[in-house]
Amino acid sequence: MQSKVIHVSSINSEQQQYQIKQQLMNVIGVHNVAIDSDKGEILINFETPASLNNLEKEIYDLGYQIF
């Protein structure tokens, strides 16, 4: 299993956090998602078939800029 941190543009509300977490948890292979909105960080624990590129694309498709 891999753990990665993705840095994103501002996450301003609990609704946005919920939306991101739900979207990522629906990806096959994702086991846990933790969001630190103050730091703009999303910590994801995942394994194959999920990949970092796929997860970043899911976040990007929700309208967040990835740093």
Question: Residue 18 and residue 49: Cα distance in Å, rounded?
Answer: 23
Query: Is 90 exceeded by the pLDDT of residue 58?
Result: yes
Tokens 């301003």 -> residue: 12
pLDDT tens by residue, 13-26? 999 999 999 999 99
Question: Residue 2 and residue 46: Cα distance in Å, rounded?
Answer: 5
Q: Hey, where are the domains in the chain?
A: 2-61
CATH class of 2-61: alpha beta
Give the pair of three-digit tokens for residue 15.
């609704």
Percentage of the chain exceeding pLDDT 90: 96
